[in-house]
Structure 1
Amino acid sequence: MKTRVAAVLLAPMILLLACGSPPTAGEPEGQGSEAAAGEATAEAVLAEVEGLDADARRERLIELAVEEGATVTLYSSLNAPILDVVAEVFEEETGVAIDQYRASSEAVRDRILQEAQAGFRGADVIETNGPEMQILDDEGALQPFTSPVQDDLAENSVAGNWTATRYNIFVVAWNTDLVAEGEQPQTYEDLADPQWEGQLAMEIADVEWYRAVWQYLVSDQGMSEEEADALFEKIASNATFLSGHTTFRQLLAAGEYSLVASDYSYGIDAAADEGAPVAW
């Protein structure tokens, strides 16, 4: 399958899945043998560039991809403006086109698992959040992959068969029209204040944020596990639970909520740059 070379080429920038076809395609005939052939081709490509330094490896992969006229299929949860720039720059620099499927991290995860269950692999490359990537790896959906650039990444960026491409910074954010200067929460304990009852929004799927904050409270702040659990219960009692950072960021900007407990810093910054009354 021609997408094999392109998948290997894109993977140092994103993440690698086994093999695939365009996301709108139906299940091909003879899926088992075709999948096996695709995997063999991927292994052959990786073997061909084994031992090359990063620049030589990249140039050889580009040559192979262009020779095959490849299009790489990317499933991602990156925000559309960022993903469009990534795709545009990649295509300009390599001559390899990207066929995008963009959705929430949960939707990307579910689609991959459903396709795997059906014996169909629609993506060459996946770029999404860490918890979803780990689930996909645990389910055997990702193909082993190494790259010279992994050695230059931050510690713990490589996990199993996937590699981190970005770190999201979770922040508490507020509507500057509704939260006066000096009243902004300064600690997580402040989110439990009854004054925020009904004014706080929380993302129902932010398990990694919950885990990190819980560990911070226990390990760094000296809370007992029971105290940390009790604090989260108080915070939750003030909150409305929503799904999707983009959605509750828009609601925050519109004044539907005064605070959000865990948004991405870059999203709040971008909204503020566009004139929304938000800050973190």
Structure 2
Amino acid sequence: MKRNFRLAAMAGLLGAALTLFGASPAFSAGYVSSESVAQYNGADRTQKLVDGAKQENKLTVYSSLPPADFDPIVKAFEQKYGVHVTVWRSSASGILQRAISEGRAGRYEADVFETNGPQLEAMYREKLLQPINSPVLKLLIPAAIQDSNAWTATRLNVFTVAYNTNLIKKADLPTSYKDLLDPRWKGKLGVEGQDSLPWFAETVHNLGGQPGIALFKQIVAKNGVSVRRGHTLVANLVASGDVPMAFGVYNYKVQSMKEAGAPIDWFSIGPAITQPNGVGVAHMLRHPNAAVLFYDFLLTDGQAMYAAHDMAVTNTTVKRKLPDVSMQIISNKDIIDNQAKNQALFNSVFSGT
């Protein structure tokens, strides 16, 4: 037990040596620092990553993306490089909790995190992430570079309002949140309650703070708002008509269902609140070469695959399906700084707690 603890503690100091010369059997179950691999920028960078990744032959990714959206990207990476990828899935909050718990216990099971921006910001503050020096960075939109590139936005999640096109006519859509005080919306409204806190906080701010809070409380009191957790679940409930209209839903999920023939569409009341989400490489891990190679892959080959699932991507060389609305990109730093306050506010408005 003491020996394992000493090995974990020494990992940061020995990381560079282990990475360059290969881990000896004595250290085969230990962790190494990804810094030397992540910061290398020689002309042979890609070839070194490929060779190292093939030798490691494994990669562990923690992801909050649904299998339908992420599995094709993982399979493409495996086919291209022959590296086996294990994906552990949870909500963005679940990934953050596990990452922090493992990190504080000296366990670093994830090589890569692919999840929401606020959670990656929190991991950065816990010193769990490693900045990457990659040539692909110059191809990205400015908003993609986060926290001195301790993590990088692969996609933009655009919060919108989803509605059932069989039950609500486009001509009847509200143009302001005040319109939702109309009795016609009674029993028809819902909100995504798992990851939509950034949307709510920014929307309330846009509505003037306290006046915005008061307005949402009026909407809840007069017409009711059903709180459901999970963007896929909420989109399915809208398409089925169980929740005819819902706030804080990712537009890409709705767009994909719409293109598949479901009676669902989306719109925005005011600017669409937009959150950079993305990828971070663990500072301490088992497979540094595979991790950095996968990071590069998500920002190059993977971008077209994200876009094929109607996501707004960050690589400017990839044809992007950006929503035809004004987008307001939010600060993940602000979201984390005000997390407790905003969560309490959300609960007080939508749950009466």
Shorter-chain TM range is: 0.7 to 0.9
Are positions 1:211 and 2:201 aligned together? yes
Q: Provide closer, same or farther for how the CA distance between residues 59 and 194 of structure 1 changes in structure 2, counting only shifts above 3 A.
A: farther
The match for 2:215 among 225, 228, 231 is 231
Give the letter for the 1:140 counterpart. K
AA aligned opposite 2:116: N
C-alpha displacement of 1:108: 1.3
Q: TM-score, with normalisation over the residues of structure 2? A: 0.63
Other-structure match for 1:251: 237
1:50 to 41, 53, 60: 41
Deviation at 1:203, TM superposition (A): 1.6
Instruction: Report if aligned partners of 1:32, 1:119 keep a CA contact under 8 Å in 2.
Output: no
Give the ranges of 4+ consecutive aligned residues of structure 1 lying more than 4 Å apart after TM superposition. none
Deviations 1:188-212, CA, capped at 9 Å, x for gaps: 3333434323211112231211233
| Structure 1 residues 31 and 85: CA distance shift in structure 2, 3 A | farther
Match of 1:37 among 11, 23, 34: 11
What is the identity, as a one-letter code, of the residue corresponding to 1:44? S
- How many angstroms does 1:274 deviate by? 2.7
Kindly indicate whether residue 76 of structure 2 is the aligned counterpart of residue 86 of structure 1: no
* Bigger mean CA deviation after superposition, 169-178 or 136-145: 136-145
> Within the alignment, does 1:165 sit opposite 2:154 as a pair?
yes
Match of 1:269 among 255, 258, 263: 255
Q: CA deviation at 1:128?
A: 0.3
Q: CA deviation at 1:261?
A: 0.8
2:128 to 123, 141, 144: 141
Question: Could you report, residue by residue, the CA deviation over 1:208-259 in whole angstroms, capped at 9, with x for unpaired residues?
Answer: 1123323444xxxxxx333222223234443111211111111112211110
Is contact 2:41–2:134 with CA below 8 Å preserved after alignment?
Answer: no
Aligned to 1:61: 49
User: Following the alignment from structure 2 to structure 1, what is the Cα–Cα distance between the partners of residues 141 and 252?
Assistant: 19
Q: Percent identity?
A: 34
What is the distance in 1 between the residues matched to 2:132 and 2:232? Answer: 32
* Cα shift at 1:87: 0.5
Cα distance in 1, alignment partners of residues 3 and 158 from structure 2: 44
* Cα deviations by residue, 1:91-144 (Å, 9 ceiling, x for unpaired): 222222211112221211122122223221110000000111111112222233
Structure 2: gaps (5+ residues): 20-33, 267-353
Is the CA contact (8 Å cut-off) linking 1:76 and 1:101 kept in structure 2? yes
State the aligned residue count.
243
Q: Distance in 2 between matches of 1:64 and 1:103?
A: 28
More strand as a share of residues? 2
Which among 136, 140, 147 is matched to residue 153 of structure 1? 140
Match of 1:190 among 179, 188, 194: 179
Which of 73, 86, 91 is the equivalent residue of 1:104? 91
Provide the secondary structure at the position in 2 that maps to 1:78. Answer: coil
Which consecutive unaligned segments of at least 5 residues does structure 1 have? Answer: 1-26, 218-223
Secondary structure of residue in 1 paired with 2:48:
helix
Match of 1:95 among 82, 106, 116: 82
What is the letter of the counterpart of residue 197 of structure 2?
V
The one-letter code of the counterpart of 2:201 is R
Greater RCO, CA 8 A, separation 6+: 2
For the 8 Å contact 1:249–1:268, the answer to whether it is kept is yes
1:142-186 CA-partner distances (Å, limit 9, x unpaired): 233332222221112122221111101111111112213411223
Quick one: which amino acid aligns to residue 177 of structure 2?
Y
Once residues 233 and 261 of structure 2 are traced to their aligned partners in structure 1, the CA distance between those partners, rounded to angstroms, is: 17
Contact 2:57/2:82 (8 A) holds in 1: no
Aligned counterparts of 1:191 and 1:90: Cα–Cα separation in 2: 46
Q: Distance in 1 between matches of 2:247 and 2:6?
A: 46
CA positional deviation for 1:35: 6.1
The residue type paired with residue 198 of structure 2 is E
- Paired with 2:67 and 2:174, the residues of 1 have a C-alpha distance of 31
Question: Are residues 1:115 and 2:115 paired?
Answer: no
